[in-house]
């Protein structure tokens, strides 16, 4: 059985370029709909570039955190929308 962390990483890997999901949507896809704060904590510790955690945003549409900085998150999202 996969851990919650593994399920979160799998869900985030499936987000296509130019698209985003909310922390809540990722939590739901990972099987724990109320664990959106846990999703944020897991993604904050991610250093694997194959997991595009910059594609996960807050429910209100704001960016939320990113372990490489909010400016980098915004830049990556803008670049992907332009592709």
Number of domains in the chain: 1
Can you tell me which residue has the tokens 């999202």? 77
Which structural domain range is residue 44 located in? 4-82
pLDDT digit string, tens, across residues 11-47:
999 999 999 999 999 999 999 999 999 999 999 999 9
Give which of 67, 72, 50, 61 is closest to 24, Cα–Cα: 61
Residue 76's domain is classified under what CATH number? Answer: 1.10.10.10
Claim: this prediction has a pTM higher than 0.75: yes
Alpha helices in 2-82 (DSSP H): 4-13, 23-29, 36-44, 70-82
Identify the pLDDT of residue 83. 74
Residues that are catalytic: 53
pLDDT confidence of 82, banded at 50, 70, 90?
confident
Q: Over pLDDT 70: what percentage of the chain?
A: 100
């Amino acid at each position: 059985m996969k851990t919650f962390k593994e399920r979160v990483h799998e869900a985030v890997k499936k987000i296509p370029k130019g698209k985003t999901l909310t922390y809540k949507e990722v939590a739901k896809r990972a099987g724990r709909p109320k664990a959106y704060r846990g999703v944020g904590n897991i993604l904050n510790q991610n250093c694997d570039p194959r997991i595009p955690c910059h594609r996960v945003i807050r429910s209100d549409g704001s960016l939320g955190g990113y372990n490489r900085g909010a400016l980098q998150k915004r830049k990556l999202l803008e670049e992907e929308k332009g592709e």
